[in-house]
Structure 1
Amino acid sequence: MVDKAIQRLAAEDAYSEELAKLREWDTAPVPPGWVLSPFAVEHFILGNEELGIERKFVASRELISRVIISLATNRGVMLIGEPGTAKSWLSELLACAVSGHSKLIIQGGAVSHYSQLLYDWNKALLQRDGPTKEALIPGPVYRGMAAGQLVRFEELARCPQMVQDAILAVLSERQIQIPELSGADATLYARDGFNIIASSNSLDKGLFDMSAALKRRMNFETIDAISDINDEMDVVQREATKLLRRSGVDLTLDPMIVEMLVTVFHELRNGVTLSGRSTDRLAAAVMSTAEAVSVAHALGVYAHYYSEGKMEAADLIHFLLGATLKDNLQDRRRVKHYFDTEVINKQGKHWHELYGQSYLLKA
């Protein structure tokens, strides 16, 4: 039974009913070590109305199928994209659908030695008994290889070269040598179903370049921001509503305010308005869909606790400030210019109420 006090459920727990439904429905060929067929994994991610499967990620079917098929081979997958394009979410969905488990995660920025990926030793047992299998502490890659499960590697480019070399060896040989042990315990062979799905932030290149050899062993897929504003509004409405429910807030997001929020994010992110006019792009803020979801969530929580459950267009700017204005002084000028040239001309009382708060943008 899932603990309702958990702030964020893993995908396999949040969508356990859908996964069970797909396992029962799935009659397509299943790769060795996988829980579902590639066909069913695709339906889990992109949705299937007839089966009651929710769409969880916005992308072309061709991109999702390429990633799925790559994971069914001996090539890893590298997801490249700007912050907030849901690369981590896609890798989590893939891991839970393919392996039934998404919790084998490596955060590249926190890894300084390959032992954190592969294995380490219990020092007390090592001193007492010497190197034994019982004294070995398996890392996430070791566990994924032993269990035949996908391993998620976040921000691979932030890892030092020797860590990347360890991943290269694993992807090439599909085994880990443990020289401290002997006999059958000295080699761990990857089980069917094991692979690595990595991600890298295209804006934050990290400290270390990936070697050409490692790149050759991974298929690269670029995850772009959502281009269709209706798709983006659907994501923001759906995901922010889920966050509100988990926050104990029973409130329906005002679709008109969600449309305003997504429009502002969409236009500032792309540097082009919906009508085709050029506008300023911000230097320090990505204005991603993920951030728009966070702003909608915060606005709903504010309405619940401070406005008797009523969302006001004029309140939106207070939550836009934290998302748009980071550590670049010129971005305040850019946002003010956007309000003075675009927001002021948009039709509707709600837009006029939003513009009425633009004095807060003054330096």
Structure 2
Amino acid sequence: MPAFVERTPSAEVPRQVLRPHAEHAFAAELASLAGQDDRPRPARWRLSPWAVATYLLGGTLPDGTVITPKYVGPRRVVEVAVTTLATDRALLLLGVPGTAKTWVSEHLAAAVSGDSTLLVQGTAGTPEEAIRYGWNYARLLAHGPGRDALVPSPVMRAMTEGATVRVEELTRIPADVQDSLITLLSEKTLPIPELGEEVQAVRGFNLIATANDRDRGVNDLSSALRRRFNTVVLPLPESAEAEVDIVTRRVDQIGRSLDLPSAPDGTDEIRRVVTVFRELRDGLTSDGRTKVKSPSGPLSTAEAISVVTGGLALCAHFGDGVLRAGDLAAGVLGAVVRDPGTDRVVWQEYLETVVREREGWQDFYRACREVTA
């Protein structure tokens, strides 16, 4: 039987759910933080700003409870994002693909409001109703315009509940739909002209939007809308070790949710994948001696997580349970070679000039050559 889950923060999530919402997956940590958080909390916040930052960055509470890091990156970035939500200014998380914008926005909403499900997914086909409101046309035809016929958007619900709403991929939404946020964010009011009414946001309401740096030119934000946001740029991991740590943590979490066995001594293989992605992304080898060409794809941390998770599944189901180069080679090839015409040349040149000559990487070179040929 499929698992149907009520979309409320208090819902009990059955084990069959593949990916629980953040407020369910980390309910114990959120409860521990709330129980020991004696700092001032903004109106309708579940935690204080300090506790929200601790939830994202990790730490140890006075009673010994360990809070796992949800985001590995500069502390100041998280602190600015959290304090923005404590003001009347909306938050825009900006960065290249794979810098954990969606992940951070979900956990911010979970920690602040206890509900990360108030979400508008931005696409080229997102209508204005997704941000404002829609209508139940059966009731509209039967009874005419009225509150019973109105279907509130996630944004309207957040305004009335004093909660945090998320808008993903804001720059993919058509410009005229984007601009429906201007009055909403500046006046904290949503007019309903059909009813001669308006919805005013109650205290606690705020909005988190995400956008990719590489989407510039798709549907650029108007200057009027951009002024309504405080923009926080999420950077790529500063060091290879930090990126290895991020990939290891997320692969472990995903693996446990899929009942995959942990791969012993998998850190070395994860470090190889991270090294390859960073070198191709930066156009320079880690020792700074050799310039390399970069492929068309972003080769983000998120893609490294996907490659390693796929390799973990391969070694668990078709290998001996030990993560090896052969389990990762096909995934690396698929991530690097997005455009067969140009990326394959870049990849083959990198294999022959860098990987082939690198000490201790002969097994990785052979595995990649086998899937590339």
TM range (shorter): over 0.9
Q: Identity across aligned pairs (percent)?
A: 38
Match of 1:356 in 2: 366
Match of 2:252 in 1: 241
Root-mean-square deviation (CA, aligned residues, Å) is 1.6
1:152-180 superposed Cα distances (whole Å, 9 cap, x missing partner): 11111122222122101100110111122
Q: Scaled by the length of structure 1, what TM-score is found? A: 0.94
Do structure 1's residue 116 and structure 2's residue 127 form an aligned pair? no
Per the alignment, in what secondary structure is the counterpart of residue 284 of structure 1? coil
Matches within 5 A, 1:166-245: 166-182=180-196, 186-205=197-216, 207-245=218-256
1:135-192 superposed Cα distances (whole Å, 9 cap, x missing partner): 110011111101111111111112222212210110011011112225xxx1211011
Q: How big is the shift at 1:110?
A: 5.1
Of residues 23, 28, 45, the one that matches 1:12 is: 23
Contact 1:268 1:279 in 2 (8 A): no
- The AA in structure 1 aligned to 2:25 is A
Matched residues in 1 for 2:84 and 2:327: separation?
46
Matched residues in 1 for 2:124 and 2:157: separation?
18
Match of 1:62 in 2: 76
Do structure 1's residue 84 and structure 2's residue 84 form an aligned pair? no
Contact 2:160 2:199 in 1 (8 A): yes
Matched residues in 2 for 1:208 and 1:241: separation?
36
Counting helix residues as a fraction of each chain, which structure ranks higher? 1
Q: How big is the shift at 1:279?
A: 3.1
Of residues 320, 325, 339, the one that matches 1:308 is: 320
Match of 1:288 in 2: 300
Of residues 113, 138, 152, the one that matches 2:166 is: 152
Q: How big is the shift at 1:328?
A: 4.5
- The AA in structure 1 aligned to 2:363 is E
- The AA in structure 2 aligned to 1:202 is D
Q: Scaled by the length of structure 2, what TM-score is found? A: 0.92
Per the alignment, in what secondary structure is the counterpart of residue 329 of structure 1? coil
Q: Which runs of 5+ in 1 are unaligned?
A: none
Matched residues in 1 for 2:146 and 2:365: separation?
68
Matched residues in 2 for 1:112 and 1:359: separation?
43
Per the alignment, in what secondary structure is the counterpart of residue 66 of structure 2? coil
Match of 1:323 in 2: 335
Per the alignment, in what secondary structure is the counterpart of residue 255 of structure 2? helix
Q: Which runs of 5+ in 2 are unaligned?
A: 1-11
- The AA in structure 1 aligned to 2:269 is I
- The AA in structure 2 aligned to 1:355 is Y
Contact 1:336 1:361 in 2 (8 A): no
Per the alignment, in what secondary structure is the counterpart of residue 115 of structure 2? coil
Contact 1:170 1:176 in 2 (8 A): yes
Matched residues in 2 for 1:10 and 1:110: separation?
25
- The AA in structure 2 aligned to 1:252 is A
- The AA in structure 1 aligned to 2:369 is Y
